[in-house]
Amino acid sequence: MLPFRAPLFARPQASSPGGGFGSHAYWRVFCEDNWGDATGIVIAEVEFLDGSGSVIAATGGTAIGSDDSATNEFSKAFDGGGGGSWFADSGPTNQWIGYHYPSTEPVEKVRLTMVASGTNFLTRMPKNCRLEYSDDGSSWTTAITFINVSLKGAQFTYPESVAPGAYKIWKALVPSVNSGTLTVCKEFEWRSVVSGADQTPVFTDNFGTSAGRVIYSSQAAGADAYKAFTDSTSDQWIGNSGSNEYLGVIFATALDMAEIAWTCHDSGSYAPASIEIYGSHDGDTWDLIDTLTPGTWTGGETKQLALAA
């Protein structure tokens, strides 16, 4: 029997289609929630774009929003990348940032730039969002909905096109290991083509880069999760138990994976007895893509395991 793979038509998309919203004086990004921080939501830069992708300059009008902090005002989100950022510090849900233009403007897209550092900056980034417009600043209409992923200094334009079967968030969950009470991976690769190139950036810490970052269930001291993505088998990730540990990556671009590669511990122990591969758009809802059975492991072996087409 073939491993279960969720049907393509059932997979949620990362953003709703856009286009043809008309011209309006008020535009905003409404942030329903963030990536887990209890304090607030932060965005480095907001740019509203027309149908050709050109920036509609935020000049002559007024930056508006739900809340800001003393040094991270509304205007910092429209400073042209001047180094500031907007931070709503009154709570992690239902915050918004926008611009009141002096005349109506035909916004079709929005581009968000994430911050690259700061206290809890990755978990303060917005998650489930809406681009909205208004003619009076009071009654708002949703143009598009989208899911923003949290990556260091990344820049995203919405709406975006996500092909069926493609996800920005991928994880490999290990229900149990072949022996031992830990889960160990010396090197892991996500491949979009069988025997193809590794799609994962090389990481030097768990914060990652604008191209991606690691996600994980647990990690032992000195055996951080990112060490499975260094293009080297001289270090390793260690999950603190031998069951239900997972390792994954948030990518900047949605990808359809075709294969993984897992390098096990030098002893051959602490290796997956099976691996469940999942894809997600938001890190909350996961689609099971495939269940893999690697078989017997030898010390330091790398197994290349193709996913069901």
Q: Is residue 210 in some structural domain? A: yes
Residue labelled with tokens 């920005």: 168
**What is the dihedral angle through the alpha carbons of 165, 228, 239, 297, rounded to the nearest 10 degrees?**
90
Range of the domain at 35: 24-158
Task: Report the pLDDT averaged over residues 19-47.
Answer: 96
Same domain, 104 and 153: yes
Asked if residues 191 and 197 have their Cβ atoms less than 8 Å apart, the reply is yes
With a cut of 90, say whether residue 262 has pLDDT above it.
yes
Residues 34 and 131 in one domain: yes
- For residue 123, the SS3 value is coil
pLDDT at 19: 61
pLDDT reported for residue 149: 97
Is 189 in the same domain as 115? Answer: no
At 109 the pLDDT is 98
Within a domain: 286? yes
Give the pLDDT confidence of 239-259 residue by residue, as tens digits.
999 999 999 999 999 999 999
Q: Are residues 187 and 276 in the same domain?
A: yes
Same domain for 93 and 183? no
Instruction: Give the percent of the chain with pLDDT over 70.
Output: 94
Give DSSP secondary structure letters for 193-251. STT--B-SPPPSSTT-BTTEEEEES--BTTB-GGGGGSS-SSS-EEESSSSSEEEEEEE
Residue 236 sits in the same domain as residue 143: no
Q: Are residues 61 and 124 in the same domain?
A: yes
Q: Quick one: 99 and 181 in the same domain?
A: no
Which residue bears the tokens 């793979």?
A: 5
Q: What is the pLDDT of residues 104-139, one digit of tens each?
A: 999 999 999 999 999 999 999 999 999 999 999 999
Q: Which of helix, strand or coil describes residue 4?
A: coil
For the entire predicted model, the pTM comes to 0.92
Q: Which residues pair with 24 in a beta bridge?
A: 105
Tell me if 13 is assigned to some domain: no
- pLDDT above 50: residue 4: no
Domain tally for the chain?
2
Last residue of a domain, one of 101, 136, 158: 158
Per-residue pLDDT, averaged over 214-225, amounts to 98
Q: What's the alpha-carbon Rg for the chain, to the nearest Å?
A: 21
pLDDT at 169 > cutoff 70? yes
Task: For residues 136 and 227, state if they share a domain.
Answer: no
Q: Are 82 and 175 members of one domain?
A: no
